[in-house]
Amino acid sequence: MIKGLTLVRSVASAEDFERLMSLFEALGFEHGKGWELDGGKGAPFLAPLGNLELVTGRDPKAPPILVEVTELDGVYEVVKSWAASHGAPAPAEIELQPWKARLFTVEPVAGMVLGFWEWDDPVKGKPAAIEGDLVATGMKFAIVVARWNAVITDRLLQGSLDALLRSGVKREDILIIRVPGCWEIPSAARTLAEQKKYDGIITLGLLLRGETAHYEAIYNEVARGIGQSQQETGVPHAFGVLTCETLEQALDRAGVKAGNKGFEAAIAAIEMASIQKKVGA
């Protein structure tokens, strides 16, 4: 069964390699697992979707690498700023394509042309929906993280910070509060939310059934307290408290095999904060 699609492109020099790395990082691509072998190295960058398109009978008039985005105008400004700071040619102007899309191209290194595009009519005849953006420039977030099981919660914290910083949040606009354990998370989150200084609160912790005899009672109260704080203050709270049977399961969910739930919680907080701004909350 087909699982995924990887597009491999060779880069001419180590300098070009680093330039492309900096561009994709500036755009917020997720890093895959890199490799080094026999004097060469690779740096995968991941996207939620990928496809291979074959064309016959006409010139597609499109660059060989196309990146579909949301908020094309914002992406254009990021690429334009990156090009100016790295001495690269400025991106071409955004143009409407015959296939009902808006597109611009850029050549970050010689011989490699990238195209960034979005549908001119993104809803495609479907009912329009308000969705949150993952651009958090100018927003402020607080992270409440439990010290207990720090080998896991520190990984969750790093995942959250990674997501926030990639999305445009300044380091000085992130407040980190460390509490003894999961039981104390709701109280700290409520205190922060009532200050109305933060666009979102991210809660991180770990409850292991094997270590806590009253595991379910604690989890229920922690979940209830965080949910109640969100509902009564109106400030989005992202739930990043893991409940696992074993330490191995927790490690998997903190970046080993099943992604980093701290990263996912921060992304959820950013999206909900964006939605609140869009609906005027």
**DSSP string for 100-160:** SEEEEEEEEETTEEEEEEEESSTTTTSPP-----S--TT--EEEEEESTTHHHHHHHHHHH
Where are the extended beta strands (E) located within the chain?
30-31, 35-37, 40-42, 45-46, 65-68, 95-96, 101-109, 112-119, 141-146, 174-179, 200-208, 237-244
The residue whose two tokens read 């009532």 is: 194
The residue whose two tokens read 């009672």 is: 217
Pair 75, 60: CB distance under 8 Å: no
Residue 214 falls in the annotated catalytic set? yes
Please tell me which residue in 31, 86, 214, 237 is annotated as part of the active site. 214
Q: Which residues are catalytic?
A: 214
